[in-house]
Structure 1
Amino acid sequence: MRLLVLTVLFALLANTGLTVSAEDRALVGQSVPEFQLDNCYGKSIAWKDFEDKRLVAVVFLGTECPLAKLYGPRLNDIQERFSDKGVQVIGINSNSQDSLTEIAAYVHRHHISFPMLKDPGSRVADQFRAERTPEVFLLDSERKIRYHGRIDDQYGVGYSREREASPELVNAIEDLLAGKPIAVPNTEAVGCHIGRLKTLEPHGDVTYTKHIAPIMNAHCVSCHREGEIAPFTLSSYDDLIGWEETILEVLDDKRMPPWSANPAHGSFSNDPSLSPEDRQLLETWVDNGMPEGDAKDLPPTPNWTPGWQIPEPDQIVKMDKVPFDVPAEGIVDYQRFIVDPGWKEDKYITAAEARPDCRTVVHHILVYVIPEGATRQDLRQIVAGYAPGTPPIELTDGIAIRVAANSRLLFEMHYTPNGSAQKDLSYAGFCFTEKENVRRVLTGQLAINTRFKIPPGDANHVVLANYISRQDEQLVSMTPHMHVRGKSFRYEAQFPDGRKQVLLDVPNYDFNWQLKYFLKEPLTLPAGTRILCTAVFDNSEANLTNPDPNKEVRWGDQSFEEMMIGFMDTIPLKNNL
């Protein structure tokens, strides 16, 4: 089955607002009080240590916030670029959940070259009125705030801009050094909430051990645990402390758990959404000061399988001979690796599992088939896939995936940089059966349109595609696929008897979360059933992920181009082998 599922965490846990409040504007021009804090090695650092600096950029950071990780190397570059001009970057960690040891690890992991200070009790954050990580305050020689907001606009809520970033902090530094007014003195800080200590005494009957831990285990911990791609862990009570405001925010904004289907249409077995009752429990728990509860109420730790989830594979295929270098930051477009698995005869796959070598940066894996004599992959044949928290392929009851002899495999890799350079050599395992054991073949189907042209600046360009069932079959799953200009996607069945049914409606498509939607019960498609897929693209300036709103966009493999595919998995009702 096609596992284009991205049930990973990773929409960056950031503020969605782009407007600057009156309170934020009022910060510019204010003086900040002197402070003295210890760095991550226990050495005391005070204002007087920087009195010879013309400008100081105070940046509030956290060790696990995804944006703070990504911007660590960029702040290093800014420090190096302007150090000889009297500019000093100072990092401050005000998170109650971040220890000195964790801050030191952050400094080493991201090669931080500027001072990194610990702010116990968030006292300095309160003085600055800082709310987010990262959040920047650029101070002049009189230690007055001259710029406040973000570092630049490269990263946002679950995306990286493909066009060149607007370097607001660098521009502000250059304006001040040149003696000019700052053109844009305020921008909206985007990032995680600073984890301040709570002064409210824990109270009430809703506790972590009895009510909140089961919610975390069911909806979050599969990705938010050690070694997985999620930016912080949520495996214990201590893990949650400091993240409560961010958790409530992403739930309110429906960014987590990742799920895009309109609940008015379809019922899906892999829907990770929290119930209204679970949301209310979380809100009540936070409002009551987050009581821990009795340890005897704690549910068992989920049994996360460390090895293969499928039976021991008959064959393991690596994506390449050497690891791929994943950079510390920036955009890594799809990487493709072609390998010959040596299949000299037809193969019948009953189980397949793609596994990342470096789980912290592998966003997803798709393994396509390239048939003998073909120059590119068959989009209908995806034989393995990976997304954190998503189960592998296991087929039973005489059902298998058939791959023709002499086919090659294409590993399509989507990497997400995490602030430090990594290496990855991912792989896939396969279990086979003999042809005589197979009664029906699971097949990938497509509603696809490759001939569209999206005009420049068009915010609502509609593209249609059809699939017509040529036999009686069961629809198992659907996966809409577009790139960064994708806005919405809908599947609608038109049955031979005239009935119409919306099968899946994705009103807010997100390129970072190309989810696969498994029907709770397979839907029978009589021969002649037409499935109409309607995709809407936003090629306007308002689309923050749009690489170039002034360009006409056509079909192409890379994310700065576009695709329009309605993937489907079907099984014939009758035996076809």
Structure 2
Amino acid sequence: MLLQRPDVLAVFLAAVVMFGTNPARAADAASNASGPIGMNVADFTLDNCYGKSVSLSHFDDRQAIAIVFLGTECPLAKLYGPRLTDIQRRYADRGVQVIGINSNTQDSMTELAAYVHRHAIGFPMLKDPGNVVADALGATRTPEVFLIDRERTVRYHGRIDDQYGVGYSREREAEPELTRAIDQLLAGQPISEPSTEPVGCHIGRVKPIEATGEVTYAKHIAPIFNAHCVSCHRDGEIAPFTLNSYDDVLGWEDTILEVIADNRMPPWSANPAHGTFANDPRLSERERELIETWVDNGMPEGDARDLPTPPVFVAGWQIGRPDEVITMRDQAFRVPAEGIVDYQRFVVDPGWDEDKYIVAAEARPDKRSVVHHILVYVIPEGERRQDVRQVVAGYAPGSPPMQLKDGVALHVKAGSKLLFEMHYTPNGTEQEDLSYLGVKFTAKPNVRKLLRGRLAINTKFEIPAGEADHVVSATYHARTEENLISMSPHMHLRGKSFRYVAHFPDNTTKVLLDVPNYDFNWQLKYVLAEPLRIPRDTRIECTAVFDNSESNLTNPDPTQPVRWGDQSFEEMMIGFMDTVPINDEF
């Protein structure tokens, strides 16, 4: 079958319409080879999300028009929708108009209207069927801006600002690249920075490729997505779009290829040269090749009879019905539509007047679309701060809950309180979250061993301003013989790399975990495929490298030294470990 899309000639003719009758200039526009600055945009007409035709010429009285390509499910397009509405509101009296264009083949008119309502969009949102306007302008991303003057000449092209990028948010005031260009244009001044690099999702184009070949969605691709992606890429989860069906995938193929090639998805940071982990989600080389081949061949759907059985996800508690459910606070926390939300910490007294032996614990987000991760710590009786060695439960997208067996339990002493540490990521719509914890207990006579939280921790460091490779180390000394179960490196926004190395009593060494590219966005626990026996007097040395330079895009302020602190604009250096003793304790 031939996927619907204007052929190359139609794209070229559209470029001719928009940029005049000069064939060479039209070809440049269609390929975006020479860049859009200085190009003249002729009139076009598209329907808005309510089916009403809107032409560029309707805004001939405006001093400047920002044409912005947006998608309904792209995370950055969700975040920047409200920000563009604010720009429209602030600049309307000065003769500026924002026009949104959706060229994604995967976004229907209904979805476009829902995007407008959900994010309270205050400017026209137009649908570009067949991505003709996007092809003519050479647009590739959402969001991507083309700022034109009264003569419809492109004067600025690129980002809205530099607050958000793929996988990161800058914790400082954004560089207002679009509004600065608008101000300079209205003042009759040259644009100081006419071009910036647009960052975001690929526009989902329909491609002139006949779908052929033996690699099909039904037989080869659906099983891969089911195994590695759908746990997060489904309705209600934090991932930005669903991958449950063939129709869900169409239009996202270029973005999928990009995140796979960049090793951004599935999220996993461990160096494969060291250690084997039970929760390793990475694609095999064969799976990568199948996806690339399938896209190159036009994405044939295949025979529906070849489709695998869809994965079944537990709608309720993965640990089964808990013995007790504890909410993070009395009332929901408001998560704003955009911006940076620093760590939120809520202390809860569960009223435990006797020692508890926990065999299962599950932290559950109320609003999964904005909850990045949850950590629930124990605050011992009489203490003001949490014991970072005692984590009752943790949640990250796709992560399993804690379930202990074979007589192993987590011991929490009577009178302890719980600290919910919440990390939220705004998604363009204001939300209210009231996350909670479920626990299952056992009686003390059923316990043979206690799960122990171990730490290699350093709180006495200072990272100099501008330093790109500052090393901080810490060591854990094993006082008893134990089995190492898992490792969880923890740093904040300046974290660059992290490594665990065991120094055994026989003078041999072993790299247990190497994370060469630490990512604050993914607080991962690395669960060993088989427990590792740690003899008494073993030293586990953790080495962290921090980047406090300008080259670190997430750095809040490279001009300041950084020390230990709870908030993400400060830093931490912790090598978390879970261990179980070799010998019975009860």
Superposition TM-score, scaled by structure 1 size: 0.96
| Paired position in structure 1 for 2:143 | 134
| Paired position in structure 1 for 2:463 | 454
Change (3 A) 1:24 1:449: farther
* Structure 2 residue 300 is the aligned partner of structure 1 residue 305: no
Pairing 1:107-506 to 2, within 5 Å after superposition = 107-506=116-515
Change (3 A) 1:24 1:415: farther
Taking the aligned partners of 1:195 and 1:26, their CA distance within structure 2 comes to 20
Taking the aligned partners of 1:56 and 1:48, their CA distance within structure 2 comes to 11
Taking the aligned partners of 1:462 and 1:385, their CA distance within structure 2 comes to 27
Instruction: Report the alpha carbon displacement of residue 253 of structure 1 after superposing the two structures with TM.
Output: 0.6
CA contact (8 A) 1:224 1:233 kept: yes
Secondary structure in 2 matching 1:81 = helix
| Paired position in structure 2 for 1:517 | 526
Taking the aligned partners of 2:186 and 2:57, their CA distance within structure 1 comes to 21
Secondary structure in 1 matching 2:232 = coil
Taking the aligned partners of 1:550 and 1:113, their CA distance within structure 2 comes to 38
Paired residue for 2:50, among 37, 41, 45? 41
Change (3 A) 1:422 1:24: farther
Taking the aligned partners of 1:341 and 1:497, their CA distance within structure 2 comes to 46
Taking the aligned partners of 2:258 and 2:110, their CA distance within structure 1 comes to 28
Instruction: Report the alpha carbon displacement of residue 49 of structure 1 after superposing the two structures with TM.
Output: 1.1
Which consecutive residues of structure 2, in runs of 5 or more, have no partner in the other structure?
A: 1-30
Which consecutive residues of structure 1, in runs of 5 or more, have no partner in the other structure?
A: 1-21
Instruction: Report the alpha carbon displacement of residue 23 of structure 1 after superposing the two structures with TM.
Output: 5.4
Taking the aligned partners of 1:39 and 1:121, their CA distance within structure 2 comes to 15
| Paired position in structure 1 for 2:576 | 567
CA contact (8 A) 2:32 2:138 kept: no
Secondary structure in 1 matching 2:241 = coil
CA contact (8 A) 1:399 1:442 kept: yes
| Paired position in structure 1 for 2:82 | 73
Instruction: Report the alpha carbon displacement of residue 157 of structure 1 after superposing the two structures with TM.
Output: 2.1
Instruction: Report the alpha carbon displacement of residue 201 of structure 1 after superposing the two structures with TM.
Output: 1.1
Taking the aligned partners of 1:47 and 1:225, their CA distance within structure 2 comes to 37
CA contact (8 A) 1:24 1:186 kept: no
Q: Deviations over 1:61-99 (max 9, x none)?
A: 000000000000100110000000000000000000000
Taking the aligned partners of 2:585 and 2:81, their CA distance within structure 1 comes to 56
Secondary structure in 2 matching 1:412 = strand
Taking the aligned partners of 2:182 and 2:34, their CA distance within structure 1 comes to 18
Instruction: Report the alpha carbon displacement of residue 198 of structure 1 after superposing the two structures with TM.
Output: 1.7
For these two proteins, the number of residue pairs brought into alignment is 556
Instruction: Report the alpha carbon displacement of residue 25 of structure 1 after superposing the two structures with TM.
Output: 6.3
Taking the aligned partners of 2:449 and 2:34, their CA distance within structure 1 comes to 65
| Paired position in structure 2 for 1:13 | none
Amino acid at match of 1:561: E
Secondary structure in 2 matching 1:280 = helix
Secondary structure in 2 matching 1:72 = helix
* Structure 2 residue 550 is the aligned partner of structure 1 residue 538: no
Taking the aligned partners of 1:304 and 1:440, their CA distance within structure 2 comes to 31
Superposition TM-score, scaled by structure 2 size: 0.94
Taking the aligned partners of 1:120 and 1:524, their CA distance within structure 2 comes to 60
Amino acid at match of 1:298: L
Taking the aligned partners of 2:442 and 2:421, their CA distance within structure 1 comes to 25
Amino acid at match of 2:539: R
Taking the aligned partners of 1:46 and 1:299, their CA distance within structure 2 comes to 46
Amino acid at match of 1:472: E
CA contact (8 A) 1:33 1:127 kept: no
Taking the aligned partners of 2:352 and 2:558, their CA distance within structure 1 comes to 45
Amino acid at match of 1:445: R
CA contact (8 A) 1:478 1:568 kept: yes
Taking the aligned partners of 1:191 and 1:185, their CA distance within structure 2 comes to 19
Amino acid at match of 2:239: A
Instruction: Report the alpha carbon displacement of residue 311 of structure 1 after superposing the two structures with TM.
Output: 2.1
Secondary structure in 2 matching 1:27 = coil
| Paired position in structure 2 for 1:83 | 92
Taking the aligned partners of 1:106 and 1:347, their CA distance within structure 2 comes to 47
Instruction: Report the alpha carbon displacement of residue 513 of structure 1 after superposing the two structures with TM.
Output: 1.0
Taking the aligned partners of 2:382 and 2:531, their CA distance within structure 1 comes to 34
Structure number with the bigger relative contact order (C-alpha 8 A, sep ≥ 6) is 1
Pairing 1:53-68 to 2, within 5 Å after superposition = 53-68=62-77
Q: Percent identity?
A: 71
Taking the aligned partners of 1:483 and 1:23, their CA distance within structure 2 comes to 38
Amino acid at match of 1:516: K
